[in-house]
């Protein structure tokens, strides 16, 4: 049976007007990211920090803008979303994506995946192996005892080919060769970011293979809707259209069960702050060291938002739309203040959160979960939308 994956990722934002380099050319910009006080407008990092040679390929920096003044910046290293400027309720531009001012920053924090495109398989695969067509495939174990986000050198740590189509659209392509990180098949991937004029960043994924394989692509942006360096995200309000979730064991692998969120700290079917129940005595919160779980979405056809997050200080609201069946909500539990982010602040504990649209973790070893298999002749397609406004 032919399987076509369809999913869409869209970020909606207000953007600052900024002169861009010509299409297909990296952006040149001299400003640096700053979050110094309540009156300072945030700016994007300078291009200089993103110009170097990695694995024999030159890296570049790109900026998208829409007619409203919203800006988003990217690097072809790991197809990272570097920065995202969104107006708050007072109209002040706020960088809501936590990231770094140079590739060196991303290199130093490889295990955190800030803003990266994740592949071949987003999230965890139990004990670093799976069986396909009767053959066992062994992967690099980089999150003992499991494989996480593609392995030792995932899509976040390679240089993609980039083509800026217009002021509002950029495409990244990458050929993951047969056997890379242990995965079968030559996987030809394309990720397109579009900054729309209704203030959204739309991320569309597409891939084909020449051999039966597995795939689960996502974006791993860390968000703080109060702005980079503004402190905790525990007072952000979250609402999710997810009446069930997949519980995990002590190694963060799904048990295989799908359980209701009702009566648990995982019930965000009505708005609640991230911190309101995060310290409850609950085995699942203990296993994840907070929220680090896959939520099973009640709907996933991008007709309505499946999640909404609101920053308590700025009034910035982020709505998420997707055609993916799951959403990994991560509350920044392993942030340790080891990295210097935009504006000179540290990535302290729970100063950012992630909302990764996805198929479920360890699906290749859980036949009861939605399939992540891709065969020759099929096309993997998925889209997600992150939409921003302020109240």
**Residues forming the active site:** 220, 356
- Extract the runs of DSSP E, i.e. beta strands, from 16-157: 53-54, 57-58, 61-65, 71-75, 80-87, 93-95, 97-98, 117-118, 124-125, 129-132, 135-138, 147-148
d(C-alpha 82, C-alpha 32), whole Å: 12
Only one residue has tokens 């934002």, namely: 13
By the 10 Å C-beta count (0-12 exposed, 13-18 middle, 19+ buried), 199 is classed as: buried
DSSP-derived secondary structure for 335-358: --S-SB-GGG-B--TTS-BEEEEE
> How far from the centroid of its chain's Cα atoms is residue 59's Cα?
21
| Residues 329 and 361 sit within 8 Å (Cβ to Cβ) | no
| Residues 119 and 356 sit within 8 Å (Cβ to Cβ) | no
Rounded to 5°, the CA angle 213-217-218 comes to 165
DSSP-derived secondary structure for 70-83: BEEEEETBTTEEEE
Q: How many Cα atoms within 13 Å fall on the side-chain side of residue 154?
A: 33
Query: Diameter of the chain by CA atoms?
Result: 61
């Amino acid at each position: 049976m032919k399987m076509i994956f369809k999913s869409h990722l869209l970020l909606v934002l207000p953007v600052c007007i900024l002169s861009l380099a010509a299409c297909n050319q990296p952006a040149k910009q001299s400003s640096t990211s700053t979050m110094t006080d309540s009156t300072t407008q945030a700016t994007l990092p300078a291009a200089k920090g993103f110009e170097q040679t990695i694995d024999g390929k030159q890296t570049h920096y790109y900026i998208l803008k829409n007619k409203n003044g919203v800006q988003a910046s990217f690097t072809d290293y790991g197809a990272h979303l570097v920065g995202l400027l969104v107006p708050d309720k007072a109209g002040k531009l706020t960088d809501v994506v936590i990231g770094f001012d140079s590739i060196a920053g991303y290199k130093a924090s490889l295990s955190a995946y800030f803003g990266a495109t994740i592949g071949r398989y987003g999230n965890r695969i139990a004990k670093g192996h799976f069986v396909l067509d009767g053959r066992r495939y062994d992967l690099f174990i980089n999150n003992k005892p499991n494989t996480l986000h593609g392995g030792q050198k995932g899509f976040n740590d390679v240089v993609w080919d980039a083509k800026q189509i217009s002021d509002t659209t950029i495409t990244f392509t990458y050929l993951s060769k047969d056997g890379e990180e242990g995965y079968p098949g030559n996987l030809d991937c394309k990720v397109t970011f579009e900054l729309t004029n209704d203030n959204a960043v739309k991320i569309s994924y597409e891939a084909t293979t020449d051999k039966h394989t597995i795939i689960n692509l996502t974006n791993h942006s860390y968000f703080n809707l109060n702005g980079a360096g503004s402190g905790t995200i525990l007072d952000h309000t979250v609402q999710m259209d997810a009446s069930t979730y997949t519980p995990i064991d002590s190694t963060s692998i799904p048990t295989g069960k799908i359980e209701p969120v009702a009566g648990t700290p995982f019930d965000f079917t009505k708005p609640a702050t991230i911190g309101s129940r995060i310290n409850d005595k609950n085995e699942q919160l203990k296993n994840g060291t907070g929220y680090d779980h896959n939520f099973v979405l009640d709907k996933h056809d991008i007709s309505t938002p499946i999640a909404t997050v609101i920053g308590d200080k700025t009034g910035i609201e982020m709505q998420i739309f997707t055609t993916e069946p799951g959403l990994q909500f991560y509350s920044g539990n392993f942030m340790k203040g080891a990295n210097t982010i935009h504006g000179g602040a540290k990535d302290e504990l729970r100063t950012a959160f992630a909302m990764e649209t996805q198929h479920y973790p360890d699906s290749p070893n859980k036949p009861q979960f939605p399939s992540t298999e891709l065969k020759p002749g099929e096309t993997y397609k998925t889209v997600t939308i992150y939409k921003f406004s302020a109240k």
